[in-house]
Structure 1
Amino acid sequence: MKNTLYTALIFTGILILASCQDKREPNYQYMPNMYEPVGYEAYDEVEWLPGGSMALLPAENTIARGALPYGLENTPEGKELSRALTSPLDSLNREENLAEGAALYALYCAICHGPKGDGQGNLVKREKILGVPSYADPGRNINVGTTYHVIYYGQNAMGSYATQLDEKERWQVSEYVMKLKEDLTQ
């Protein structure tokens, strides 16, 4: 009889506590910041920055560490000026640079330009895109500088690969394209 009485009292107490809870709001918040986050806008005034100023912007005319600006414009004149560019990569590591350029070319370029640079990639064979010329076409007067320029800015239907490839990788792919051109013309 005592067990039944204790069980009934405990059950009644639980019901009373449960009936007091408001289901629309939690009763206790042990970590309120997890329930009610504080959001900051990127360039708003905030009290915790020095002087309450806006978020600090990079200084004018600065360049990110490790990045150099290309310097030539995306114009036909800029492309003509790129003919004078030469690869800054170390010629002692030519085989290593060509191997890395081949791997990057296979990843980014071969789907359209073909693994041999003959313009017969998978997308061309399946007629998804048309008009990808061979690197050996006599009308295509390309060199390592113009190839770098096209990789940087894109041309015609080809978009820019400047965000996918860093500067060294762009030069490696450009050198590999020149090797493909040599192989096709022989």
Structure 2
Amino acid sequence: MKSLFKTAFVLGIMVAVSSCKSDLKPNYQYMPNMYESVAYETYSESDAFNSPTGEKGKEGQSPAEGSIKRGFVPYEVPNTPEALAMLKATNPKSPLDSTQVDMKKGEELFNVYCAICHGTEGNGKGKLVTQEKFLGVPSYADRVINEASIFHVVTYGLNSMGSHANQLSQTERWLVAAYVMQLKSKL
């Protein structure tokens, strides 16, 4: 008798469990968007930012026309040898006045970004030069330079030297240029 009740009980549970599932009438979903979301492939194109000109995905990613980032001051001199020669000939002055020029800060920036190649005295004998990793780094004593030409070279780079415009702000580049002129006067 007990085995008959056990068998009936197990059979009843199996019928109850199997009767809850029906492919014709699916269960109710409270938030169907979470259960059946739109599948997107990774790095696939999206219609989220379609522009009126037909460029897919460009409208939401590009900045507004004529905008510049906060704190950025455009540098109008082009990156050409003629422009560098013009700066050396005309010798425009730094936009920083004497109260803004902090030689201690200029020295710190020079030691971080420039001294590894140019040396702490500006003689072209930095650590990378003495280890022969870079050759031909000039001494400031041998060069016809001024603050504007130094600023231009630090902004755009020249020969093996790359641009430092991403690492140094415009004010910091002028501070480095002022410190380099101080080093040149000591050589």
TM above 0.5: yes
Matching of residue 132 in structure 1 with residue 134 in structure 2: no
Deviation at 1:37, TM superposition (A): 8.2
Return 5+ residue gaps in structure 2 as ranges: 1-33, 50-56
Q: Which residue of 1 aligns with 2:64?
A: 59
What count of residue pairs does the alignment treat as equivalent?
Answer: 152
Deviation at 1:41, TM superposition (A): 6.7
Provide the C-alpha distance between the structure 1 equivalents of 2:144 and 2:156, rounded to a whole number of angstroms.
18
Provide the C-alpha distance between the structure 2 equivalents of 1:37 and 1:181, rounded to a whole number of angstroms.
60
Provide the C-alpha distance between the structure 1 equivalents of 2:121 and 2:149, rounded to a whole number of angstroms.
19
The answer to which structure has the higher helix fraction is: 1
Q: Which residue of 2 aligns with 1:12?
A: none
Instruction: Give the 5 Å matches for 1:1-186.
Output: 44-46=46-48, 54-55=59-60, 57-83=62-88, 84-94=91-101, 97-137=102-142, 140-184=143-187
Letter in 2 for 1:90: D
Q: Aligned pair in 2 of structure 1 residues 121, 56: CA closer, same or farther (>3 Å)?
A: closer
Provide the C-alpha distance between the structure 1 equivalents of 2:47 and 2:174, rounded to a whole number of angstroms.
43
Cα-Cα RMSD: 3.4
Larger radius of gyration: 2
Q: Scaled by the length of structure 2, what TM-score is found?
A: 0.68
Q: Scaled by the length of structure 1, what TM-score is found?
A: 0.68
Deviation at 1:93, TM superposition (A): 3.8
Provide the C-alpha distance between the structure 2 equivalents of 1:131 and 1:56, rounded to a whole number of angstroms.
43
Indicate the percent of aligned positions where both proteins have the same amino acid.
48
Deviation at 1:69, TM superposition (A): 1.2
Deviation at 1:39, TM superposition (A): 6.2
